[in-house]
């Protein structure tokens, strides 16, 4: 682990776009029509990200290009079993306006992290009034489920995605009890459990669990972002929820087999993986 007063020599080092970039890129590879709303600036990291997005053929039409710095950078120290981050965010973040959502009318709106958290309940409520399916990914939070405006956000979403560490922090409970607790606030809760797979709880129905395939783990960074892409892909295709969860698990598992989410599957590869797994 990083420590003061010492160099820690790693076996690899790279500067790559991640987080929401990973999800948007994964959906692009899955032949899904996706546009990513994000703040970009004139800083080095924004320049690297924009260049990578354009090289990957991603839709950058919703990039909010600013002339000042909009630094979003994380130093990730990744091990085979887990990873940690030291992050820095500069400059305000924004969400799409009601007018933009009304013009675009996406089938699905995915917000990853508590971006502009005080605006999220209103944004989700308006989007749902237009028939847009709203998904929200937890990312890192320090509050419990009852604090701040998290209940208001969840009550206005259709699907809440989080990992088992985040679920334990929010609810104080283990996996299945955490699902039931969070399920009081939102219709569909999806729990990412790393090497153990994933679980899904639809209010009023039984929990669906799926194991993860055994893979050679290189870097777990971006696995959750890739999982989200697989989940959205399955929803767009109108699959049953158990098959949607299978697609998400396969995408998350593929991502960990290379550094920086570089092993994301294309659509043909994902469908082949699902067929080989008997899904």
Place domain 32-269 in its CATH homologous superfamily.
Ribokinase (3.40.1190.20)
Task: Give CA–CA dist 211/236, Å, rounded.
Answer: 22
Task: Report the predicted TM-score, pTM, of the whole model to 2 decimal places.
Answer: 0.91
User: Which two three-digit tokens encode residue 93?
Assistant: 């973040």
With a pLDDT cut of 70, the percent of the chain lying above it is 98
Q: Which residues contact 191 (CB under 8 A, 6 or more apart)?
A: 162, 163, 164, 167, 175, 178, 179, 198, 199, 200, 201
Locate the domains of the chain by residue range: 32-269
Number of H helices, E strands in the chain: 10, 10
Instruction: Please state, as a whole number, how many other Cβ atoms lie within 10 Å of the Cβ of residue 83.
Output: 16
Residue-wise pLDDT tens digits, 1-35: 778 899 988 777 888 898 899 999 999 999 999 99
Tokens 């893979």 belong to 215
With a pLDDT cut of 90, the percent of the chain lying above it is 62
- Tell which residue, 163, 217, 160, has the closest CA to residue 192: 163
Residue-wise pLDDT tens digits, 59-91: 999 999 999 988 888 888 877 667 788 888 887
- Looking at the chain, how many residues does it have? 279
- Residue 81's pLDDT is 67
End-to-end CA distance of the chain: 39
The DSSP letter of residue 213 is: P
Q: pLDDT tier at 147 (50, 70, 90 boundaries)?
A: confident
Q: Which residues contact 25 (CB under 8 A, 6 or more apart)?
A: 17, 53, 56, 58, 261, 264
Tokens 């809760």 belong to 189
Q: In what order do the strands lie in the sheet with 133-137?
A: 108-112, 133-137, 159-163, 188-192, 198-202, 207-210
Task: Give CA–CA dist 124/108, Å, rounded.
Answer: 11
Task: Give CA–CA dist 10/248, Å, rounded.
Answer: 30
Residue-wise pLDDT tens digits, 27-49: 999 999 999 999 999 999 999 99
**pLDDT surpassing 90 at residue 189:** yes
């Amino acid at each position: 682990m990083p420590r003061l007063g010492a160099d820690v020599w790693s076996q690899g080092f790279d500067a790559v776009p991640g987080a929401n970039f990973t999800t948007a890129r994964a959906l692009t590879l899955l032949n899904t029509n996706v546009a990513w709303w994000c703040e970009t600036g004139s800083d080095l990291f924004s320049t690297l990200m924009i260049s990578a997005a354009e090289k990957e053929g991603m839709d950058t039409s919703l990039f909010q290009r600013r002339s000042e710095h909009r630094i979003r950078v994380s130093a990730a120290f990744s091990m085979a079993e887990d990873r940690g981050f030291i992050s820095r965010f500069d400059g305000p973040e924004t969400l799409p306006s009601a007018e933009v959502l009304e013009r675009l009318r996406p089938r699905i709106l995915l917000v990853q992290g508590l971006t502009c958290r005080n605006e999220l309940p209103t944004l989700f409520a308006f989007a749902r009034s237009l028939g847009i399916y709203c998904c929200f990914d937890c990312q890192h939070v320090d509050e419990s489920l009852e604090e701040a405006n998290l209940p208001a956000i969840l009550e206005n979403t259709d699907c809440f995605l989080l990992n088992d560490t985040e679920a334990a922090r929010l609810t104080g409970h283990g996996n299945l009890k955490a699902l039931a607790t969070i399920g009081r606030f939102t219709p569909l809760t999806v729990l990412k459990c790393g090497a153990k797979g994933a679980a899904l709880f639809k209010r009023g129905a039984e929990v669906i669990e799926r194991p993860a395939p055994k893979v050679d783990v290189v870097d777990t960074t971006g696995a959750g972002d890739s999982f989200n892409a697989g989940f959205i892909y399955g929803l767009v295709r109108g699959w049953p929820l158990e098959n949607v969860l299978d697609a998400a698990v396969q995408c998350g598992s593929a991502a960990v087999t290379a550094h920086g989410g570089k092993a994301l599957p294309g659509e043909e590869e994902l469908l082949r993986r699902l067929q080989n797994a008997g899904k």
